[in-house]
Amino acid sequence: MVLQLNRGIESFLQLFYPIFKKWLAYDVYAYLAVGAINTALNILLFAVLYEMVLPKEGLFLAGFYIASYTIALLLAFFITIPTGFWLSKNFAFRSASTGAKKTGKQLFKYILVVGQGLGSDYLILKGLILFLSMEPTLAKIFSTMIVLTVNFLLQKYFTFKNA
């Protein structure tokens, strides 16, 4: 099953790469493509949780009020960590070293980078909602575009850098 999924994703990437070959190195193209898949999953999860599952007025947990968009952001984030790491390691940064020890270090670095991305995403999201009165799902899309740009550079030159 995983082998078929790998082949399917790789075939999909190879099918469209000739269109972008003039402008993008393969690793950038693959990062954007698999990142788009994972980002779409993240935004979809956020929207479904925020729009359909969680109460709009937020929740009181352990005596603290937590906005529904904050809960949706965190849940979508934790669900897409494993898929993002797997896609990045297997398709965008394949040339990075492998092995259990190296993969463990990469996963730790990946979590650090996406953790900073989550913090940045939250601050940008909150700022867009509070200061610009932007609708939360639209604000999530804007904040994601900013965070993805920074995360690509960190993943390429920190998490999956070659020795």
| pLDDT tens digits, one per residue of 80-136 | 999 999 998 888 887 666 677 788 888 899 999 988 988 998 899 999 999 999 998
Question: What is the reported pLDDT for 49?
Answer: 94
Give the integer Cα–Cα distance in Å for 160 and 163.
9
Tokens representing 14? 């190879």
The structure's pTM equals 0.74
Give the Cα separation of 98 and 106 in Å (integer): 9
For 138, counting Cβ atoms within 10 Å of its Cβ (0-12 exposed, 13-18 middle, 19+ buried), the class is exposed
Query: Which structural domain range is residue 59 located in?
Result: 2-159
Domain count, the chain: 1
pLDDT at 163 over 90: no
Residue-wise pLDDT tens digits, 14-72: 999 999 999 988 888 998 899 888 989 999 999 999 999 998 888 888 888 989 988 99
